[in-house]
Amino acid sequence: MTKQTVGIGSSANDGNGDTLRSGATKINANFTEIYAAVGNGSTLTDIIDSNGLINVSSGANKIVFYYANLSDLPSAGTYHGAVAHVHATGGLYFAHAAAWVRLNDETTGPVTKYTAGVNGSTAYTFTGPGATSGNNPNFTFYKGHTYLLNNAANVSAHPLKIRVSAGGSNFTTGVTENYNSTTGLTQFIVPHEPSDSSLVYQCTNHSGMVGNITIV
């Protein structure tokens, strides 16, 4: 129903407004529609609870989390736990550890994330699925898989690059730096026919912070 507006005339007491009964009927109709839309017809549903949280227990609920581009996403650190759809990539993302992480689907393949730490200026350390403890651990990456190397905490002093060899040129095929507009987060989608089957990750400021990446 289109909202019904009570006619109040052009000026006070000009006799051109709705009668009291007609005006009250419109008001009742408006409230009836509101109570039916966000309640059971007689009582409103508490959609937002006392803690400011959305709380809807039933019904086919629809909340759109739409963003046109990755650059439009809000701060993942501020909105930890949020979810968002990015139209430009067709992907669904969630915010965790100050980064937007894309959920796996048939277009991305398996995604594995490793978070970098440092041991002074001599070595990287990593945490993540199957990561080896210790300094400058070696990795085995698989063709068609996606890997995220999160060096956000160390990027100022220890920027990380994927290279063809220690001290060599940067390897760029399938590599996206500052992924999801997150400084220090590198995405590596391993190509099926890489020009190199043996790569390294290395700090651009400290040559000894280097480890091997084997492509299989």
pLDDT value of residue 32: 94
pLDDT beneath 50: ranges in the chain: none
Cβ contacts of 202 within 8 Å, gap of 6 or more: 160, 161, 163, 166, 167, 209, 210, 211
pLDDT at 101 (0 to 100):
84
Rounded distance, CA 178 to CA 145, Å?
19
Q: What is the pLDDT of residue 202?
A: 98
Burial category of 188 from C-beta neighbours within 10 Å (exposed 0-12, middle 13-18, buried 19 and up): buried
Distance separating alpha carbons of residues 186 and 139, to the nearest angstrom: 15
- What pLDDT score was predicted for residue 116? 97
pLDDT at 65: 94
Q: Rounded to 5 degrees, what angle do the CA atoms 165, 114, 69 make?
A: 100
- What is the residue whose two structure tokens read 């009927």? 25
Query: What's the rounded Cα separation, in Å, for the pair 148 and 177?
Result: 10
Distance CA 202, CA 74 (A): 30
Helical (H) or strand (E) element with 96 = strand 91-96
pLDDT at 85: 95
